[in-house]
Structure 1
């Protein structure tokens, strides 16, 4: 039996994010997409947008590339009243409310573009590449392997939160 390659493990991990996001978006109505539990919780639209933005920016950074958000014009297409560099980290109530969508289509398209970029990046990696230092601001410095695990962890958590919100009965 052949052993699993680093790139295969990472491809499977990032692919699971895609499975979660697709399941949340499938059959989701606009009202539920933008609904905020308790009027202050994060909506599915915000959770999945933030998941995509964080993954996009972090993978772009370690890959030495521009984000899909800016390079492919998604910032303009979404048209949110937010700075194009914004990923949602530390958002206020008003900023979360600014993330409103008419349908799931654009969000699904953006997610698929981000996931595609991530998968292309990780497919080229070997075990030695994971030791590359990508952030010296921490002690110990953050390696590429640690950063990729962090990205997957954050995305799966936000995807799970979105799945939970989808299952809640919406109160109008």
Structure 2
């Protein structure tokens, strides 16, 4: 590993810490609570951010997603196709992510986090410049994709923390 990949490991570790803190001690009803009845729930936010990380890391690593490889899609039992990561979900879709326990959410996230760290440990600085998506202009490099996942996940983790704060009011 290099200093750059060490920083990425640290960034993904921070996401993992927030996820663990946000769901700790909450029951499935609290995890599924939606401020104003329409906002995203903690369960949906944690599921979605973990699905994005799993999908995007598997994509750049050229591996199967942990979601399907380890049968997490079956354990969650959500009414979505296995490839669904929550992007573009409607309010009705968000409402379908319910009845999930903290342990299920954190165990899946931990598995994805471990897979992410394992993948990052294989990288050298030169790998971060590799183009991984030519459908954008300019094309997206591995480094940019990884930072994009970190940014997206941190935003959703922060949203989940905010929702948790509202639960305590």
**TM-score when normalising by structure 1:** 0.94
Q: Deviations over 1:83-129 (max 9, x none)?
A: 11100000011111111134211111100000000011112211100
Tell me the equivalent position of 1:70.
68
Partner residue in 2 for 1:148? 146
Q: Secondary structure at the match of 1:168?
A: helix
Correspondence for 1:59 = 57
Within the candidate set 160, 163, 167, 1:162 is matched to: 160
* Unpaired runs of at least 5, structure 2: none
Residue 80 of structure 2: which of 82, 98, 101 is its match?
A: 82
| Two-structure CA RMSD over aligned residues (Å) | 1.3
Write out aligned runs for 1:112-151 (5 A): 112-151=110-149
Q: CA deviation at 1:170?
A: 6.8
For 2:100 and 2:22, locate their aligned partners in 1 and report how far apart those are by CA, in whole Å. Answer: 16
Partners of 2:25 and 2:102 within 8 A in 1: no
Runs of 4+ with deviation above 6 angstroms:
none
Q: Which string of whole-angstrom CA distances, capped at 9 and with x for unpartnered residues, describes residues 52-109 of structure 1?
A: 0000000000000000000100011110111111000000111111111342111111
Q: Higher mean Cα deviation, 24-33 or 56-65? A: 24-33
| Count of residue correspondences | 168
| Partner Cα separation in structure 1 for residue 168 and residue 18 of structure 2 | 20
Give distance in 2, aligned partners of 1:43 and 1:84: 20
Encode CA deviations 1:125-155: one digit per residue, 9 max, x unaligned: 1110000000000000000000000000000
Does the CA-based 8 Å contact 1:14-1:115 persist in structure 2? yes
Structure 2 residue 18 is matched with structure 1 residue 20:
yes
| Contact 2:30 2:167 survives alignment (8 Å) | no
TM-score, normalising length: structure 2: 0.96
